[in-house]
Amino acid sequence: MKKIISMLLCALMVLSMSLTAYAAYDFGFGQSFITDNTFVLGDVNGDGSVNAVDSYSIRTTLAGIATDAIDLDSADFDADGKCAAPDSYSLKLCLSGARSTSDFENGKQLYKLTVAGNDISQYSVVLNEGITDEDNSYFAYLNLVKYVEKVTGVRLPLSYGEATTPKAFYLNEMSTKTERGSELGVEGYKYEVKNGNVYIEGTYRGTMYAVYELLEDYLGIRFFSDRETYVYKQRTVDIPDGTVEEYVPPITFRHACQTYDNGSSRPLWHYFANKLNGTQLYAYNAKRFGTLSGPIYSNAHSFYEYCKMSDGTVPADTTGMTEQQILEAKFASGAFPQNPYGWQPCATNDEQYKKLFNGMLECNKMSMYWGNTLHYEEEISVMSFSILDNQYYCTCRNCTKISRNEGFSGLYLQLYNRAVVDVQEYYPGLRLYGIVYAKDFPKTIKPHDNLVILYCGIGCNNHILGQEECYEKGGQLNNMSNKGDLEALPFWGNLCKETGAELWFWIYPVTYHYYLIGCPNIPNLYYNTKYLYEKCNVTGFYYEGGGRDYNFESLKAYVTTRLLWDPEMTYEEYTAHVKEYLYMYYGEGYEEIYQYILMQTEAGDRCGTCFINNFDRPGDMYSYEYLAENYYEMRGLLEAAYEKTTRPEQRYRIDTLLVSCDFMGLSSLHTEMYINGDTASKREFSERYTWMYNKIKEYGMVVFSSDLYQLPDTCDPSVNPMTQIYEEGSRRAGVTP
């Protein structure tokens, strides 16, 4: 695929470009556009001004004696894709005052878009006859028209069956029942430029994904934030004749959730643009959006809901009530029999199974009344039939007999298998997925081919999956590591591949509770995903997001969407995505912030042991010694990035990084700078602590996931910031002061 990102990043790293961007910044749900002036017409040497030196640079380039490269976009006045004598003449007219560089601009981010040399104004969009606004190809058309108009100013008309313009984009949505549709699966696509026309074919989500790929690869659009869409400025772009792109995503379930400061979820336009396909939101699971993959009704731990439904009572008087109202009343009246975090159902009791199974059927029926129409197609319809969020497995005589030979994973696997067979009588083609926590292996019980194993990996967030160094370092405080995963994941991957089942993985890279720090695991995301995909046959990912965006949480979610779409990318490509996001989100100081991330990661690596980010404390995740030694350098990187910002939201974002940097750095240096420090160091410490404290109050930064810890009423530099805010920074002796 054509990768604009690589070229733009190369230009960003080699050239010193002027960045002036504008946007009506929206902290809520709306979509705002960030337009990036990656070049200024006439400023061919990139020094920030248009003058005689630029004219000289063009002349020497045309004469073949130039020693410095010029920026083609800045020199291409007539937008023909090259620098020639007419461009030199146009620049002279501008320098003389006879013309202005604005005379050669149209105010759009992409001045000239062509397909096989044909101007975009000659094009329309053609849909199949019979397509309605409820079909995915219609949604793809809406997006193509919206963003082409935004970037070029040209609005593409729509027709059905036949084109009404000289050239066209043909969006062909096909059924998986056809031979070609079967090859593409439920979301594969192919686009081809032939004789100046663009032919796009896909099934379900395929045409939509093809459109988004075209928008990114050629129009320079990046859907990097749930609030903002980034648009690079380009002079000319041509989609050449003969271009062919075909892709069938190898990861069949891709879900990356992330919440932000206002607690909102990813909006619809942002979710699909990043090629995610799994959802818990019923409104999204419609034909218009490609009939999404993944959980229907319950995301996980569904035995809780099914027990409630089974134990609920139908109202004594149902006069005038619809079936939907009756089911909802029954569910609401149900009381779960045990503590959901300390109980699992018996896996061998027939009555218990019937309660769970019938509860699933009724919950499914209830969800269909909410507009969650099921489409029973292979690789699409999945419903949770899963144990609760704990490992208190049943130890009755019959369950013990099975688990002794098959392990607890095999014990509940046979329960999942039973349900996935029985459900076909009611919903033919419906698949079930069941959660696996235990690290043991079934000896003879194998997953049914209609079953999805949802493996929850929660061993260690500091070390990369598949490497033995994790458990060689002694494990976590709760004696967990990735050792069990190292053995269990390849086993499950091979077993699922053998039977035709699928293995999905629930990944937990988010910073859960202590929001003033961040889990230092950004490089790990790449290596963990590659290991799971290449070594363990994982075909689905549920990325658990959440928390606050003070420490790269949105970055982690964004690059995860890139990995899930293209799990075969190189680490260099992954790094390019990271840096591009940092550029879009924080500004021209992205290189400094990337170096800060590397140092933050090193501080995590040097903590000397494993940690898990939803249980361990800040001091468990970082080396205080490393932070103390490198605090000034790390803060200096953020200060340098701050000086390069051009937008207020960039300054706010780097301010929150500085707050986090100060919190960890000052906590590490409290004894040295304040307790044992001289007058100057005490004053510096107090000033930094006061600045950090005031910024937390000014921005309303939340320090913890609940009311357990809150910002104290006063700032007291005599108390270590870690212990003043969180009372206890670590459970390891000698880690925190």
Q: How far apart are CA 292 and CA 285, in angstroms?
A: 5
Structure confidence at residue 269 (pLDDT): 76
Note whether 118 and 52 are same-domain residues.
no
Is the pLDDT assigned to residue 701 strictly greater than 60?
yes
- The average confidence (pLDDT) of the chain is 88
Is residue 88, in this structure, part of any structural domain at all? yes
Is the pLDDT assigned to residue 555 strictly greater than 90?
yes
Is residue 236, in this structure, part of any structural domain at all? yes
pLDDT tens for 147-161 read 999 999 999 999 999
Note whether 90 and 124 are same-domain residues.
no
Rounded to 5 degrees, what are φ and ψ at 102?
Answer: -65, -25
Structure confidence at residue 616 (pLDDT): 79
Structure confidence at residue 226 (pLDDT): 82
Structure confidence at residue 734 (pLDDT): 55
Note whether 173 and 94 are same-domain residues.
no
Q: How far apart are CA 558 and CA 711, in angstroms?
A: 30
Is residue 353, in this structure, part of any structural domain at all? no
Is residue 639, in this structure, part of any structural domain at all? yes
Is residue 131, in this structure, part of any structural domain at all? yes
Overall number of domains in the chain: 3
Structure confidence at residue 287 (pLDDT): 79
The larger pLDDT score, comparing residue 692 to residue 1, is at 692
Measure Cα distances from 35 to 151, 233, 250, 394 in Å.
10, 7, 33, 58
Note whether 123 and 243 are same-domain residues.
yes
Among 83, 104, 125, where does a domain finish? 104
Among 74, 104, 134, where does a domain finish? 104
Note whether 227 and 131 are same-domain residues.
yes
CATH code for the domain of 209: 3.30.379.10
3-state secondary structure at position 488: helix
Is the pLDDT assigned to residue 3 strictly greater than 50?
no
160 close to 127: Cβ distance less than 8 angstroms: yes
Note whether 137 and 99 are same-domain residues.
no
Note whether 180 and 236 are same-domain residues.
yes
CB neighbourhood size of 666 (10 A) = 24
pLDDT tens for 223-280 read 998 888 999 999 999 999 999 999 999 999 998 876 544 344 556 778 889 998 886 5
CATH code for the domain of 77: 1.10.1330.10
Among 50, 79, 104, where does a domain finish? 104
Is residue 201, in this structure, part of any structural domain at all? yes
pLDDT tens for 530-546 read 999 999 999 999 998 87
Is the pLDDT assigned to residue 420 strictly greater than 60?
yes
pLDDT tens for 466-480 read 887 776 655 566 667
Note whether 132 and 65 are same-domain residues.
no
Is residue 11, in this structure, part of any structural domain at all? no
Note whether 63 and 130 are same-domain residues.
no
When pLDDT is averaged across residues 451-459 and rounded to a whole number, the result is: 89
Is residue 56, in this structure, part of any structural domain at all? yes
Is the pLDDT assigned to residue 12 strictly greater than 60?
no
Strands (E), 273-359: 294-296
Please give the share of the chain, as a percent, with pLDDT higher than 90: 68
The larger pLDDT score, comparing residue 152 to residue 66, is at 152
Is the pLDDT assigned to residue 192 strictly greater than 80?
yes
Is the pLDDT assigned to residue 686 strictly greater than 70?
yes
pLDDT tens for 557-569 read 999 999 999 999 9
Note whether 81 and 189 are same-domain residues.
no
Q: List, in sequence order, the alpha helices (H) in 190-311.
A: 206-219, 268-273, 303-311
Please give the share of the chain, as a percent, with pLDDT higher than 70: 90
Note whether 47 and 161 are same-domain residues.
no
Structure confidence at residue 473 (pLDDT): 57
* Domain residue limits at 698: 596-726
- pLDDT-based confidence at residue 9 (cuts at 50, 70, 90): very low
Note whether 664 and 718 are same-domain residues.
yes
Residues whose CB falls within 8 Å of the CB of residue 575, separated by 6 or more in sequence, listed in order: none
